[in-house]
Structure 1
């Protein structure tokens, strides 16, 4: 259902772009705006992992780390990647007490998963595995590509909207209509942004479900999401605060002023996600957190 919803929303954004582009600049104007926006976003997508990791202060975890917690973290991510049929991603940590995580990379062969030190300190090993399975699901679903396409369309719509006042709709006598142009300039990017946010939320639900399949226990992620939300409200992530446009990448909104699951939220409400995961656990016949297949020992609180 999440994938179908994404396709519908992408179709809506494409139709919005085509309609506004033709209205403002005809076929040529529409094509030029799309070409420029596409070139900019494809460049950003190709280099996204390096840029994002640097801006978020991420440090790679060496393969032969002497830290027991990080060593167990690497082992679990490798095991989860194998279960998900994925190449082992690069593994990074961000030194911030706020519990959170994200994935980046243009495809599964160039993927990286990132966890904050706060996530590793607050969550149990099972809960961390649930979070990493969610991020690997994003990699497997190629959500970075999906979000690049939406960013391309949103950027093209924004460019067209900026032309609206000067080259906007004209009346029957060929005179420009500045009021209509101003309306397009304001409303078109807003509509595109709302669709983009809806696609982002849809992909989060999809990654929750697929991540639960990868790790084998939806309750791990459900429990982790509740802890992450509490921690994210209590702690500041300075890297995310400096780059708020990247907030949608995290598994939970890392910024202040988080709200419920509304039109302007890039993340679904945690309560909605937890409820969906618990329903999935019921369908899978799972009623407890324990799953010895992935983690042979239970470690509560900070582990390592």
Structure 2
């Protein structure tokens, strides 16, 4: 059900991109935007993992360099029936983690030094299991694609706004350009709708990863405890490396401290208290 919902939302997001192209540039614009979306998705498919890992200066570790962490990931991969991903560590005291990669055979799990110091073994196992669930269901690719498409829509909206201000880019054929209605759609409606859809995709995948992660580690309460601790740090300690473009990838939004008052519709993650409540329900069902 969650994957069906995600597929529908991705289709809507691509449709908005095409519609924006049509409103701003007529039929040719719609075609160009569709081609751009295909190109972006292809680029994202191949390079999203290396880009985000470099952005956070993540360093790959071997079984010799981090034996406990590596063995933990290896055992959980066996539980999840997944190939072993590459394991990375990010040097920051803020506890957090994310997964990336275009498919289970080309994936990576990254954890911070802070999370290794803060969480107990079973809590960290719950976090790693959550990230492995993202890999199993290709959530990192889906989220990155959604963010890329939404970003292009926002960029087009900005260009349309400046074109309107300076009287550029206007077609003599109001029918092709979409006129005032098309301009308002491009500048206001489209970027807002794209952002809401992107956030909805991200939240639905987090719920699914929590449930699947609880099964993989066999201890949903440990994952719930980990989320509570990570959420505390995210709201009280700044993770300097974090950016809005990649914050959706982490198990808890590392920018939560600056966004906690924003309505849930505009959040990349469900409320932590809701996630914990669902994990507690899952633990009761497993008894």
Output the TM-score relative to the length of structure 2.
0.87
The equivalent residue for 1:112 is 108
- Indicate conservation of the 8 Å contact 2:77/2:132, yes or no: yes
SS of the counterpart of 1:105? strand
Of 91, 96, 109, 2:92 maps to 96
SS of the counterpart of 1:245? coil
Aligned-partner Cα distance in 1 for 2:2–2:49: 25
The equivalent residue for 1:257 is 258
* Structural RMSD (CA): 2.4
Instruction: Specify every segment of 5 or more residues in structure 2 that has no aligned partner in the other structure, as ranges.
Output: none
Deviations 1:156-187 (A, max 9, x none): 53455435843579657x88734751452232
Deviations 1:197-243 (A, max 9, x none): 11011111111111111111111111100011112223221211xx3
Q: Kindly state the Cα deviation for residue 82 of structure 1 after the two structures are TM-superposed.
A: 1.1
The equivalent residue for 1:57 is 57
Q: Is the aligned partner of 1:203 residue 2:199?
A: no
Instruction: Specify every segment of 5 or more residues in structure 1 that has no aligned partner in the other structure, as ranges.
Output: 286-304
Aligned-partner Cα distance in 2 for 1:184–1:48: 27
Higher mean alpha-carbon deviation, 3-12 vs 225-234, is at: 3-12
Q: Kindly state the Cα deviation for residue 112 of structure 1 after the two structures are TM-superposed.
A: 0.7
SS of the counterpart of 1:268? coil
Q: 1:245 to 1:151 in 2, by over 3 A?
A: closer
The equivalent residue for 1:10 is 10
Residue-pair matches, total: 278
Deviations 1:126-167 (A, max 9, x none): 000000000000000011221243235424534554358435
SS of the counterpart of 2:266? coil
Higher mean alpha-carbon deviation, 153-162 vs 50-59, is at: 153-162
Aligned-partner Cα distance in 2 for 1:234–1:84: 33
Deviations 1:106-127 (A, max 9, x none): 1111111011111111100000
Higher helix share: 2
Aligned-partner Cα distance in 1 for 2:172–2:283: 53
The equivalent residue for 1:28 is 28
Q: 1:121 to 1:178 in 2, by over 3 A?
A: same
Aligned-partner Cα distance in 2 for 1:132–1:26: 47
SS of the counterpart of 1:106? strand
Output the TM-score relative to the length of structure 1.
0.83
- Indicate conservation of the 8 Å contact 2:98/2:251, yes or no: yes
SS of the counterpart of 2:110? strand
Aligned-partner Cα distance in 2 for 1:168–1:86: 53
Q: Kindly state the Cα deviation for residue 34 of structure 1 after the two structures are TM-superposed.
A: 2.2
